[in-house]
Structure 1
Amino acid sequence: MATPTVVLLPVWGAGHLMSMLDAGKRLLARSDGALSLTVFVMQAPTEDNRTEVTGHIRREEASGLAIRFHHLPAVESPTDVEGIEEFISRFVQLHADHVKAAISALTCPVAAFVVDLFCTTMLDVSRELAVRSYVYFTAGAATYALFLRLPALHEEVNVEFDEMEGMVDVPGLPPVPPSSLPLPVMDKKNPNYTWFVYHGRRFMDFDGVIINTAAELEDSVLAAIADGRCTRGIPAPTVYPIGPVLSLSPPAEQPHESVRWLDAQPPASVVLLCFGSGGFFTAAQAHEVAHGLERSGHRFLWVLRGPPAAGTRQPSDANLGELLPEGFLERTKEKGLVWPTKAPQKEILAHAAVGGFVTHCGWNSILESLWFGVPMVPWPLYAEQHLNAFTLVAYMGAAVAMKVDRKRNNFVEASELERAVKALMDGDSDDGRKARGTATELKAVCRKAVEKGGSSYSALGRLFEDIRNQAERPNM
Structure 2
Amino acid sequence: MANRPTIVLLPIWGTGHLMPMLEAGKRLLARGGDLSLTVLNMAPPTPESAAEVTDLVRREEAAIAAGQADTIHFHNLPIIEHPPNLLEMDDFISELVQLHVPHVRDAIAGLKSPVAAMIIDFFCTPVLDVSGELGIPTYVYFAGNASTFALLLSLESNKGKEDTVDVPGLPPVPRSSLPSPLQDEASKSYKWFVYHSRRYMEATGIIINTAAELESNVLAAIADRAPPIYPIGPVLSLKPPADEPHECVRWLDTQPPASVVFLCFGSMGSFTAAQVREIAEGLERSEQRFLWVLRSPPAEGGMHPTDANLEELLPDGFLERTKGKGMVWPTMAPQKEILAHVAVGGFVTHCGWNSVLESLWFGVPMVTWPLYAEQHFNAFTLVADLGVAVGMKMDREMGNWVESWELERAVKCLMGSSEEGRKVREKAMVMKVACWKALENGGSSYTAVQRLYARAAGGQNVETPSTVEDI
TM-score relative to the length of structure 1: 0.94
CA contact (8 A) 2:9 2:118 kept: yes
2:223 partner amino acid = A
Question: Is 1:204 the counterpart of 2:205 in the alignment?
Answer: no
| Equivalent residue, structure 2, for 1:169 | 166
| Equivalent residue, structure 2, for 1:12 | 13
Q: Distance in 2 between matches of 1:192 and 1:108?
A: 37
| Equivalent residue, structure 2, for 1:377 | 367
| Equivalent residue, structure 2, for 1:69 | 74
Q: Distance in 2 between matches of 1:406 and 1:47?
A: 29
2:138 partner amino acid = S
Offset of residue 153 of structure 1: 2.1
CA contact (8 A) 2:280 2:318 kept: yes
**Pairwise mapping of residues 277-288 of structure 1 onto structure 2 (< 5 A)?**
277-288=267-278
CA contact (8 A) 2:348 2:368 kept: yes
1:38 partner amino acid = T
Q: Distance in 1 between matches of 2:312 and 2:328?
A: 13
Offset of residue 192 of structure 1: 1.2
| Equivalent residue, structure 2, for 1:474 | none
| Equivalent residue, structure 1, for 2:280 | 290
**Pairwise mapping of residues 462-473 of structure 1 onto structure 2 (< 5 A)?**
462-469=451-458
Residue ranges of structure 2 left out of the alignment (5+ in a row): 461-471
Aligned length: 454
| Residue aligned with 2:74, SS | strand
2:436 partner amino acid = R
Q: Distance in 1 between matches of 2:375 and 2:58?
A: 30
| Residue aligned with 1:6, SS | strand
| Equivalent residue, structure 1, for 2:30 | 29
Q: Alignment partner for residue 316 of structure 2, among 302, 320, 326? A: 326
Q: Alignment partner for residue 394 of structure 2, among 397, 404, 408? A: 404
Offset of residue 34 of structure 1: 2.5
| Equivalent residue, structure 2, for 1:53 | 53
Offset of residue 449 of structure 1: 0.1
Q: Distance in 1 between matches of 2:414 and 2:399?
A: 24
Question: Is 1:121 the counterpart of 2:126 in the alignment?
Answer: yes
| Equivalent residue, structure 1, for 2:465 | none
Q: Distance in 2 between matches of 1:470 and 1:442?
A: 30
Question: Is 1:447 the counterpart of 2:436 in the alignment?
Answer: yes
1:28 partner amino acid = L
Question: Is 1:225 the counterpart of 2:226 in the alignment?
Answer: no
Offset of residue 143 of structure 1: 0.1
Structure 1 range deviating more: 374-383 or 397-406: 397-406
Q: Alignment partner for residue 102 of structure 2, among 97, 100, 120? A: 97
Offset of residue 3 of structure 1: 1.3
Question: Is 1:433 the counterpart of 2:422 in the alignment?
Answer: yes
Q: Distance in 1 between matches of 2:33 and 2:294?
A: 44
| Equivalent residue, structure 1, for 2:447 | 458
Q: Deviations over 1:438-466 (max 9, x none)?
A: 00110000000011000000000000000
CA contact (8 A) 2:33 2:459 kept: no
Identical aligned residues as a percent: 64
Q: What's the C-alpha RMSD, in Å, of the aligned pairs?
A: 1.2
| Equivalent residue, structure 1, for 2:184 | 187
| Residue aligned with 1:37, SS | strand
1:4 partner amino acid = P
Q: Distance in 1 between matches of 2:193 and 2:148?
A: 11
Offset of residue 470 of structure 1: 9.6
| Residue aligned with 2:119, SS | strand
Offset of residue 310 of structure 1: 1.7
1:437 partner amino acid = E
Offset of residue 297 of structure 1: 0.0
Q: Deviations over 1:352-380 (max 9, x none)?
A: 00000000000000000000000000100
Q: Distance in 2 between matches of 1:244 and 1:419?
A: 30
Structure 1 range deviating more: 360-369 or 78-87: 78-87
Question: Is 1:393 the counterpart of 2:383 in the alignment?
Answer: yes
CA contact (8 A) 2:206 2:230 kept: yes
Question: Is 1:81 the counterpart of 2:86 in the alignment?
Answer: yes
CA contact (8 A) 2:453 2:459 kept: no
Question: Is 1:40 the counterpart of 2:37 in the alignment?
Answer: no
| Equivalent residue, structure 1, for 2:112 | 107
CA contact (8 A) 1:151 1:200 kept: no
Q: Distance in 1 between matches of 2:391 and 2:46?
A: 35
1:403 partner amino acid = K
| Residue aligned with 1:126, SS | helix
Question: Is 1:242 the counterpart of 2:247 in the alignment?
Answer: no
Q: Distance in 1 between matches of 2:187 and 2:17?
A: 23
Offset of residue 227 of structure 1: 2.9
Offset of residue 96 of structure 1: 0.7
Q: Distance in 1 between matches of 2:220 and 2:250?
A: 44
| Residue aligned with 1:134, SS | strand
| Residue aligned with 2:346, SS | strand
| Residue aligned with 1:253, SS | coil
2:202 partner amino acid = D
Q: Alignment partner for residue 251 of structure 2, among 239, 257, 261? A: 261
Q: Distance in 2 between matches of 1:361 and 1:212?
A: 15
Q: Deviations over 1:266-306 (max 9, x none)?
A: 00000000000110011011000000000000000000111
Q: Distance in 1 between matches of 2:309 and 2:240?
A: 31
| Residue aligned with 2:389, SS | coil
CA contact (8 A) 1:132 1:470 kept: no
Q: Distance in 1 between matches of 2:298 and 2:230?
A: 37
| Residue aligned with 2:23, SS | helix
Offset of residue 114 of structure 1: 0.7
